Structure 1
Amino acid sequence: MSDMFYDRDSRARGCLTLSSKTSPLAQKRWSTSKTPEDPKNQVPAEPKSATKRLLSKIPIGRSHENIYTIPNILTFSRLVAAPVVGYLLVHDYHAAALSLFAYAGITDLVDGWIARKYHLQTVVGTIIDPMADKLLMTIGVACLAVNGSLPVWLAVIILGRDVGLAISAIYYRWISLPPPKTMARYWDFSLPSAEVKPTEISKINTALQLMLVGSAIALPVVPEAIISAWHLSEAMTGFQYLVATTTIWSGLSYVFSNNAVKILTKDEIQKRIAQAEAKRKP
């Protein structure tokens, strides 16, 4: 029995002696090796921060709205139709120009009805919708003045008002744009910043201008006998003076009105986008 303990003790001492004679590299490897059973060698997992867990549950606010709606698409089609109408007028294709002008007028009514019925109103729609009307009006008036269908003085009044409103829109868009103010963000109409509300006289004036341009386009298509019988030429002259009066009146209404242009705050932008998304959900 004592021999057994002696041999076991000798073997243990022999192992210790052998290990002491190993190379320094082996000793370094042996000392740095980590066994999974040793709790001192285990690296504790980093606890997840409570602040990070809380922040991960907070929804990030969105400053963009969905602009790819049917009303906005119809409005954009009117923007594209405007220069085509001008081309047709310059080349005396009055029948084709009248058809495309009628399409623009119908879509102007339809897109507004769809937006209200299906809750697809967008801030960008309040900008590009009057923009499409004014572009069609501007091109139509300019081309009709070149053809002699409208007097030059009336064209100057209509176009001068539109130029003044366009400069004002550029100014208000820039001052209301949230920082950073870059040209890319300026032309990103999915980023709402200001809302334009047309005045009542402006709405009436827009309708009268559209009727005037439509009548001037259609007049060459109407037979001469009907024009003479119904005194349409004299009626057009009186209508031109009426439109000149409402045009000047509507331009002044934007200058003296306090509710025509509203700069949206960050909270208002978030609230409107959230309301639009909630209405679109089934």
Structure 2
Amino acid sequence: MNSGIRHLPNILTVTRIVLVFPFVWFMFNEQYDRALWTLLLAGVSDGVDGFLARQYNWRSQFGSIADPVADKILLITTFLTLGLTNHLPWWVVAVVVSRDLYIFCGAIAYWFVVGRYEGSPTMLSKTCTFMMIVLGLVVIANLVWPLVPPPLLLWLSYLVVGLSFISMGQYTLLGIRGFARRRAHSGDSHD
């Protein structure tokens, strides 16, 4: 097999980042059908790059960093765009963006004090992210095919906000435990 093809997951990751630009343009120009298809294409590229990296062991250092960054760029941009175009309340956008920034800053602090976080996202975090994606897609799909009643969109927003706060709390507890273990180990080494 051509050795260049093993870079396909990384190419798909970069493509996902690039797709942010037409998505935003389509949203601001009220071409919601194209925005929806662009977002769906980005989502499919995320699934395909992950599958290829795992299935064929085409993992790379670049991909391990760029893939989650691309996911966050896409998610945050989607919510900011929905807020700026007045299709999602700002309180929802603020909580979603704050959650990701909180986790990012917490991860950096953890890395500096404790070391690299040796774990994967929690099931709660994955559920929260999944529901964020669902909310974003439902809002945009509803702009194309207005089938979802506003009360249902509001309850979905409440669910995402609630999961975001619970997820931040969970990561706070994980961080506190990591800092406590670090303190306990540093205390043991001085005895």
Output the TM-score relative to the length of structure 1: 0.55
1:77, distance to aligned residue in structure 2 (A): 1.1
Give the one of 167, 174, 189 matched to 1:250.
167
Q: 2:71: which partner in 1? A: 133
Structure 1 segments unaligned to the other structure (5+ residues) = 1-67, 178-192, 262-282
Q: What does residue 232 of structure 1 align with?
A: 149
Deviations 1:72-129 (A, max 9, x none): 2211211111233122212212111111100011111111111111012334433322
Please report the RMSD computed on the Cα atoms of aligned residues, expressed in angstroms: 2.6
CA contact (8 A) 2:17 2:74 kept: yes
CA drift of 1:195 comes to 5.8
Match of 1:81 in 2: 19
CA distance in 2, matches of 1:135, 1:74: 14
Does 1:147 find its partner at 2:70?
no
User: Which has a greater percent of helix?
Assistant: 2
Q: Do the aligned partners of residues 127 and 251 (structure 1) sit closer, same or farther apart at CA in structure 2, a change above 3 Å counting? A: farther
| CA–CA separation in structure 2 for the residues paired with 1:206 and 1:246 | 9
> In the superposition, relative to structure 1, how do residues 86 and 172 fare at CA in structure 2: closer, same or farther (>3 Å)?
farther
Indicate conservation of the 8 Å contact 1:145/1:155, yes or no.
Answer: yes
CA distance in structure 1 between the aligned counterparts of 2:58 and 2:155, rounded to whole angstroms: 39
Q: 1:154, CA displacement in angstroms?
A: 0.7
Q: Do 1:138 and 1:159's aligned partners in 2 also have CA atoms closer than 8 Å?
A: yes
| 1:213 Cα deviation from its structure 2 partner | 0.6
Aligned residue-pair number: 172
Once residues 86 and 155 of structure 1 are traced to their aligned partners in structure 2, the CA distance between those partners, rounded to angstroms, is 15
Tell me how far 1:232 sits from its aligned partner: 2.9
Corresponding residue of 1:102: 40
Equivalent pair of 2:107/2:117 in contact (CA under 8 Å): no
Q: Distance in 2 between matches of 1:163 and 1:256?
A: 17
Offset, 1:234: 2.1
Matching residue within 57, 71, 79 for 2:9: 71
- The answer to whether residue 133 in structure 2 is matched with residue 210 in structure 1 is yes
Give the whole-Å Cα distance in 2 for the aligned partners of 1:237 and 1:172.
35
Three-state SS of the structure 2 residue aligned to 1:70 is helix
Letter of the 2:156 counterpart:
F
Deviation at 1:132?
Answer: 1.2
User: Match of 2:19, SS?
Assistant: helix
